[in-house]
């Protein structure tokens, strides 16, 4: 059980799906269906993290009787600094706690750049945590997990 406490995010993170902050809500919804993810990360022109879009955000916008093709995602996204982020060396269990305590579905894995800006390098979700639980119980931890 001690071993579980040492698992790092980098061993379990998924590939992030990002959209640009000037992309339309319609394009974001299309990306969400195409990539089959529950959360999109929004980046600015210099590819730094600018926001997060959940299915709930997109659903709220889509019932609002507005033109989704002309509405940029920047209007409806959750913005920095109100975004929970994590880093590849963070403990999995701490990030799992953040998902529960803050009632969010996904957290971007970031590299910190100059001026408090973040490059998005991964994605951790409740699906990640459910997979970890299954692996733990089947004693099939990925190689990374066994190392620690």
Nearer to a copy of itself, 20 or 38 (CB): 38
Q: Is 134 a residue that touches a copy of itself (CB under 8 A)?
A: yes
Nearest to 14 by CA among 130, 101, 139, 118: 130
24 forms part of the interface with a copy of itself (CB under 8 A): no
Distance CA 145, CA 12 (A): 9
- Tell me the closest approach of the beta carbon of residue 74 to a copy of itself, in angstroms: 19
Does residue 148 touch a copy of itself according to CB under 8 A?
no
Note whether 71 binds a copy of itself by CB under 8 A: no
φ, ψ for residue 17 (rounded to 5)?
A: -115, 120
Q: Give the one residue of 100, 113, 144, 148 binding a copy of itself; rule: CB under 8 A.
A: 100
CB of 64 closer than 8 Å to CB of 25: no
């Amino acid at each position: 059980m001690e071993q579980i406490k040492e698992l790092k995010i980098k061993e379990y993170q998924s590939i992030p799906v990002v959209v640009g902050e000037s992309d339309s809500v319609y394009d974001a919804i299309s990306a969400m269906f195409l990539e089959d993810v529950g959360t999109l990360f929004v980046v600015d022109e210099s590819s730094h993290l600018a926001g997060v879009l959940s299915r709930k955000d997109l659903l709220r916008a889509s019932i609002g009787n507005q033109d989704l093709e002309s509405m940029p995602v920047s209007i409806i996204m959750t913005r920095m600094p109100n975004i929970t982020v994590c880093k590849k060396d963070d403990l999995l269990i701490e990030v799992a706690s953040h998902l529960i305590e803050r009632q969010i579905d996904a957290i971007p894995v970031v590299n910190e750049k100059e001026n408090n800006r973040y490059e998005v390098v991964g994605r951790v979700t409740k699906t990640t945590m459910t997979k970890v639980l299954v692996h733990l119980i089947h004693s099939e931890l990925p190689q990374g997990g066994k190392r620690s």
